[in-house]
């Protein structure tokens, strides 16, 4: 980063942290539960909406299936939670990538890694999109600007994570508890109102969905089944995020595994209970939620008013139970938005960890391993930010569309991870003696097997019902990521194989002779400094090289060289096509051909300008020559920089120069060839100035 | 340019030319006339239009002033031609920049240079814009797409000039003569038809302009004068391009000056005669031409049909004389388009010459001096292309608007150049003996003085009548360019002052001691090669430096170093904030403080990937470190590249390495410090690995 931007960076990122500051304190149950459940709990903010909007395709009658489908979705979610509770007993350091890699081999691991990367990007995109819609429910002024609110949410999360902020655990915990209190308060008052018959209707109770053409003939047996399956597949978004505690066992207080198991169970029950409550109340208050509000009509069959705004289900319920625009309902909706932001935040923690893990295994670029000033994996954070922004913008922050792609990757990694666990327990069984321990392993394997079967079924259902709706894009993306990671790994493997020392190699071998070559473009101070440095390195032979771009200039240069009596012979290289690098490369190759075991060192005088705009006024010739020379084997490039002073026009370098005074005769560098004896004759020539070295 | 684009470049640009191929053959009168007059003659394609559209502001009655104003404009143009004919006798190598610089000093020269740069950009923009409108007159399908045709014209000219095409002189000469034949054929037949009363009306004869509100009260005395002056100032665009032969005397056949004087006179007479003819016939055929065709009405006072297309004046005349849509009229209009393209082409020759001249005098970046593969100043051509495209797009290819800004720069440089000539002759007079020679000088001074007075007057008139219409933009642009050129010159002067050798300096001084330092990031082949190269340079002292970014990695590195028994001591630098460059710089500064007269050489092992995409997988750390080190005085950077093989997975470097076999004991490099004696103890430490060198 240019130094001029340093203050901006300090303002945004803050002072760098010492590496020692890395470890955090382990979290007890009371804090771990809210912190690691935020992601799973936040699904309540969009999973019910998904079920209802799918059912709405079948018309008003189909909406009655809502609570039943909610029940099935919750059951599946609890099964997955159970399955993960078993997994962590074997892999407390956890993570689906680690489990899969250990049990099903690196390629299954990479596939899961790719799916998880995609999931986490979707977690951010879905969370900020849903957050934007909840905020619009409290602040109607934001309606229509949801996209920009979502983009702002991503940017906020990115900056916070690059700063390393949000490491505090207490505030999030308090906010999640507040959310839970208000949510269950709302659900209980809703139930009480329902029992006492005082439950009001939702705002959307007086509209109804126009059935999809496919379901126009009413709901026959098959049509109902298809609709129910599709609603279930959309609703399975409820299970997203349940793996978070399993991947963070390390961060929990001792006894870690018991803490984690408690957190998972509590999380599953809370998420399940709240989903069931929401689905029940939504049915009782006649909540209607559709993909496109333009497809609604009033219950009388009329047009829906143009200013009709469709709020998320939870916001509608809060208004129905706590009263439209009341303080409590506003607070609950705001807390939902906060919870969604926390879910996005948790993805911002997991994604860079995952990519650094993949980078450590050489499947992703090494840059993802670099820790930033505040100890975060900045490059991973930036990658996630860009990907999430791309999704948010591409889907114009429409939560429903995003969720449907989200579910695929999540269930893919669930499935593969559970399969890995089944394999793990089967292997374990071979080493386990009979009796109780053996039975425990069998039981655990059975749980993971059920988990595998269920998640596989859901994955297939989602894939089939959503294939033409974009599921193929998600699969293609995962396949593409796997193939890129394979190429990256192959590259790193090849580089390591090439760079590693062979046992037979003598690590202390030296080049036999050193041929030094100074590239001369003018007789000015930087050139003389380069010459002095080259001579100080006492090479076996030393020559100055001039590329003849312009005959007059070359002649003047040689005359000046002669006048200064510089003790180094000059070779002039012809350049009929006015190139700098090519004649030099040809000359070097000639040298290397005649003595391939010698080292050739090219000294290049350079000047470094003090201000950025000034570099526009100087050719990038030396830079280009250096890049070209880097591709030549057996050639070392020595840049001799001359720092131009900042005070223009002063004309002097005020810093001490490394040159000492004149060297006493006889003590000069040893094996330097005889001085400019053949120049004078060449200067007088009328023919080409080329010494002809490379044409012979 | 990346090597992958090399074939594309060869296709577009062609094989490079040898520098020897630069000189062209001198042109005799018959060829020089058409080639160097194209620019001036092409003004006939837009100057009459400018006069008529200005007069149209005063309504139909005002159009009758057309021929008279044409007469004045032609007179001014001829005066300028006369004046330049005198100038070239003193400055045959010509150019207004050279004349001004020599007589009025560098700053007047730079001002004229800036004005000329602007003129040439406008020449291209005006020519292609006018060309587009003439083409649309022959091919009505192009109507509405004039902007794209103009853009295509600029791109075509740019490519042709980068290729060095269009150096042939015969084809342009033939085309110009054809144009002249058809133009004068048209004018003569028009006059004959007029005398015999068979001259038809122009297509626009049945429309008439709606007078501008300012002239609604009819044409009072002052209003007529104002309108006439404005029409004259617009029409003075006729004089653009007359300086071209004066700037190209060098390219003409001997006796050069006489050839040039002939060319200038013939050019002036041809341009004058054709303008007068066009203005007369336009009056006789009742041509109407306005800025915005929407302000026209039919002579009956009705609306002009929506599909009315306004063709340029010359196209309307051709149709009136040769018959609408006839072969001859089509051919004439096409030749006008060709002539305009040739005028743009001549600017594409002059602009890079001018900028290279200014760059040689250090007022513009040095890159403008680089000749491309085909000997053109490619960077100057690219600069002109971009500027012309910007103008064409900004003005949406509207010729009339472009011309009005064009004239200002042209007359500014005319004026200053004539003033310079007056000064020249005055100085000359001091050295001229009395009698005839003295009288000749006096006469010449008088001519240039009249030229100066007339052009100054026109410049003032243009400036006053056009100030609020954008003339201030042109002046501001020139002032801005002058100030940028001043800063550039100051920078180059400062650099030269700093880099030039002082007489007292000993060009053969050497640094007293060399301290070598190898940056070690891993114990792999590139590192060992860097170590070997460093040792081969026999430094006074040598150390390997490890920056401790990650404790585990550093410990493993030191163990490996120990195992290989590398004969170089290692210093470990602490880096609490995980930076690579900063600890290194601090270490270097400590070294330099303790012995400021020593040279420090930092050896950096690097590997060079074979394919572009692979570089994304490697940190740019070494690049950043090198850039940072370049800003440290007294530090030389030696990159030791390792070329990764192209065949991935082969794992071996198939090229011969510069290392020889093991060195016999006792013949190793001299003054290297004792081997790794203090590492083993450090590796075992549990504390920080930092050697503490820079903290003490």
Bridge partner residues of B635 (DSSP): B600
pLDDT at res. A168: 67
Mean pLDDT for all residues in chain B: 82
The span from the CA of B627 to the CA of A526, in Å, is 17
Tell me the pLDDT band of B204, cut-offs 50, 70 and 90: confident
Please give the interface size between A and B, counted as residue pairs whose CB atoms are below 8 Å apart. 286
Phi and psi angles of residue A27, each rounded to the nearest 5 degrees, phi first: -100, 135
Looking at the predicted structure, is the pLDDT value of residue A682 above 60? Answer: no
How does DSSP classify residue B196?
H
State the best of B658, B661, B664, B675 to mutate against chain A, taking most chain A CBs within 10 Å: B658
Is the model more confident about A379 or about A506? Answer: A379
Looking at the predicted structure, is the pLDDT value of residue A70 above 90? Answer: yes
Selection from B674, B580, B663 nearest residue B625 by Cα: B580
Looking at the predicted structure, is the pLDDT value of residue B687 above 70? Answer: no
What whole-number percentage of chain B has pLDDT above 70? Answer: 86
Which residues of chain B have a CB within 8 Å of the CB of A19?
576-578
Encode pLDDT of A493-515 as tens digits. 888 888 887 776 676 777 878 89
Interface touch B494/A663, C-beta < 8 Å = no
Of A499, A596, A639, the CB nearest to B525: A499
ipTM: 0.73
Least confident of A80-94, A288-302, B445-459: A288-302
Which residues of chain A have a CB within 8 Å of the CB of B563?
none
What whole-number percentage of chain A has pLDDT above 90? Answer: 27
Which residues of chain B have a CB within 8 Å of the CB of A643?
630-633
Interface touch B641/A644, C-beta < 8 Å = no
A235 Cβ neighbours under 8 A, 6+ residues apart: A47, A48, A50, A51, A54, A69, A70, A72, A73
The span from the CA of B114 to the CA of B478, in Å, is 6
Interface touch B618/A366, C-beta < 8 Å = yes
> What integer is the mean pLDDT of B661-684?
35
CA distance A405 to chain B (A): 29
Kindly report the number of other CB atoms within 10 A of residue A493's CB atom. 14
Give how far Cα A579 sits from Cα of A282, A517, A518, B19, B365, Å.
77, 18, 17, 11, 19
Least confident of A457-471, A511-525, B256-270: A457-471
Least confident of A400-414, A661-675, B118-132, B179-193: A661-675
Mean pLDDT for all residues in chain A: 82
Selection from B103, B167, B691 nearest residue B452 by Cα: B103
> What integer is the mean pLDDT of A27-41?
87
Angle at A402 between CA A397 and CA A407, to 5 degrees: 155
Most confident of A87-101, A117-131, B403-417: A117-131
For A262-310, the DSSP string reads HHHHHHHHHHHHHHHHHHHHHHHTT----S-GGGEEETTS-BPPTT---
Is the model more confident about B320 or about A685? Answer: B320
pLDDT at res. B178: 93
* A687 phi-psi bin (left φ>0, alpha ψ -120 to 50, beta other): beta
Encode pLDDT of B232-271 as tens digits. 988 999 999 888 888 888 888 888 888 889 999 999 999 9
> What integer is the mean pLDDT of B447-459?
91
Encode pLDDT of B577-602 as tens digits. 788 888 999 999 998 888 888 889 99
CA distance B539 to chain A (A): 7
Which residues of chain A have a CB within 8 Å of the CB of B566?
507-508
State the best of A508, A513, A567, A605 to mutate against chain B, taking most chain B CBs within 10 Å: A508
Looking at the predicted structure, is the pLDDT value of residue A695 above 60? Answer: no
Encode pLDDT of A11-32 as tens digits. 666 677 766 655 567 888 888 8
What is the model's pTM? 0.72
Which residues of chain B have a CB within 8 Å of the CB of A669?
510
> What integer is the mean pLDDT of B450-463?
90
For residue A662, give the 3-state DSSP assignment: coil
Looking at the predicted structure, is the pLDDT value of residue A579 above 90? Answer: no
Looking at the predicted structure, is the pLDDT value of residue B4 above 70? Answer: no
CA distance A95 to chain B (A): 24
Is the model more confident about B240 or about B305? Answer: B240
B476 Cβ neighbours under 8 A, 6+ residues apart: none
Identify the closest residue of chain A to B537 by CA–CA distance: A537
B291 Cβ neighbours under 8 A, 6+ residues apart: B53, B56, B400
Looking at the predicted structure, is the pLDDT value of residue A391 above 80? Answer: yes
Interface touch B617/A493, C-beta < 8 Å = no
How many Cα atoms sit within 13 Å of B21 on the Cβ side? 15
Give Cα A64 distance to the centre of its chain. Answer: 42
Phi and psi angles of residue B202, each rounded to the nearest 5 degrees, phi first: -70, 165
Phi and psi angles of residue B680, each rounded to the nearest 5 degrees, phi first: -50, -40
Of A494, A535, A539, the CB nearest to B651: A494
Which residues of chain B have a CB within 8 Å of the CB of A488?
617
In the block, tokens 């032969």 appear at B245
Phi and psi angles of residue A280, each rounded to the nearest 5 degrees, phi first: -65, -50
β A296-298/A207-209 pair status = antiparallel
The span from the CA of B424 to the CA of B96, in Å, is 13
Encode pLDDT of A592-626 as tens digits. 888 888 889 999 998 887 777 777 777 778 888 88
Most confident of A160-174, A515-529, B12-26, B203-217: A515-529
């Amino acid at each position: 980063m240019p130094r001029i931007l340093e203050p901006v960076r300090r303002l945004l990122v803050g002072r760098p942290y010492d590496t020692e500051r890395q470890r955090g304190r382990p979290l007890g149950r009371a804090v771990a539960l809210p912190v690691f459940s935020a992601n799973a709990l936040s699904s309540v903010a969009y999973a019910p909406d998904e079920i209802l909007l799918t059912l709405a395709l079948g018309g008003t009658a189909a909406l009655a299936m809502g609570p039943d489908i909610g029940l099935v979705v919750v059951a599946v979610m609890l099964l997955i939670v159970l399955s993960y509770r078993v997994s962590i007993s074997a892999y407390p350091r956890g993570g689906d990538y680690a489990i899969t890699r250990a049990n099903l081999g690196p390629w299954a691991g990479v596939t899961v890694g790719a799916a998880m990367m995609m999931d986490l990007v979707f977690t951010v995109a879905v969370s900020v999109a849903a957050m934007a819609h909840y905020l619009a429910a409290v602040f109607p002024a934001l309606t229509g600007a949801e996209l920009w609110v979502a983009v702002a949410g991503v940017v906020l999360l990115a900056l916070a994570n690059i700063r390393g902020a949000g490491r505090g655990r207490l505030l999030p915990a308090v906010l999640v508890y507040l959310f839970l209190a208000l949510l269950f308060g709302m659900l209980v008052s809703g139930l009480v109102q329902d029992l006492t018959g005082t439950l009001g209707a939702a705002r959307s109770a007086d509209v109804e969905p126009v059935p999809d053409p496919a379901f126009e003939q009413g709901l026959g047996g098959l049509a109902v089944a298809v609709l129910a399956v599709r609603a279930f597949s959309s609703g399975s978004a409820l299970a997203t995020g349940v793996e978070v505690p399993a991947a963070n066992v390390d961060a929990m207080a001792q006894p870690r595994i018991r803490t984690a198991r408690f957190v998972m169970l509590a999380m599953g029950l809370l998420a399940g209970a709240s989903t069931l409550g929401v689905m029940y109340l939504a049915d009782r208050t006649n909540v209607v939620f559709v993909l496109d509000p333009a497809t609604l009509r009033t219950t009388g069959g009329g047009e829906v008013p143009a200013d009709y705004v469709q709020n998320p289900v939870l916001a509608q319920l809060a208004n129905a139970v706590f009263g439209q625009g009341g303080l409590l309902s506003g607070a609950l909706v705001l807390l939902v938005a906060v919870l969604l932001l926390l879910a996005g935040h948790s993805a911002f923690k997991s994604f860079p960890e995952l990519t650094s893990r993949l980078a450590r295994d050489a499947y992703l670029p090494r840059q993802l391993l670099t820790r930033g000033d505040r100890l975060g994996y900045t490059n991973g954070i930036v990658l996630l930010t860009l990907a999430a922004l791309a999704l948010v913008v591409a889907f114009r922050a429409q939560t429903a569309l995003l969720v449907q792609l989200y579910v695929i990757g999540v269930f893919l990694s669930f499935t593969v991870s559970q399969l890995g666990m089944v394999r793990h327990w089967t292997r374990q069984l071979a080493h386990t003696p009979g009796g109780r321990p053996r039975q425990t392993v069998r039981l655990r394997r059975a749980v993971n097997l059920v988990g595998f079967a269920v998640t596989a079924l859901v994955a297939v259902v989602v894939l089939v019902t959503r294939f033409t709706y974009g599921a193929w894009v998600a699969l293609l993306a995962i396949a593409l990521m796997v193939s890129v990671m394979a190429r990256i790994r192959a590259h790193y493997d090849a580089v390591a194989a090439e760079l590693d020392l062979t046992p037979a190699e003598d690590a202390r071998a030296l080049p036999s002779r050193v041929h030094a070559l100074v590239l001369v473009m003018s007789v000015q101070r930087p050139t003389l400094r380069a010459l002095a440095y080259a001579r100080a390195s006492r090479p076996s032979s030393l020559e100055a090289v001039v590329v003849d771009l312009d005959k007059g200039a070359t002649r003047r240069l040689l005359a000046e060289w002669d006048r200064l009596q510089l003790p180094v012979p000059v070779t002039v290289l012809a350049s009929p096509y006015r190139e700098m690098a090519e004649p030099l490369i040809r000359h070097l190759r000639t040298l290397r051909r005649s003595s391939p075991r010698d080292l050739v060192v090219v000294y290049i005088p350079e000047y470094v300008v003090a201000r950025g705009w000034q570099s526009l006024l100087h050719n990038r010739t030396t830079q280009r020559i250096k890049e070209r020379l880097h591709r030549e084997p057996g050639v070392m490039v020595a840049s001799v920089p001359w720092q131009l002073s900042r005070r223009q026009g002063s004309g002097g370098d005020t810093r001490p120069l490394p040159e000492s005074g004149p060297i006493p005769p006889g003590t000069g560098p040893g094996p330097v060839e005889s001085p400019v004896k053949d120049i004078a004759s060449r200067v007088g020539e009328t023919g080409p100035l080329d010494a002809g070295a490379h044409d012979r």
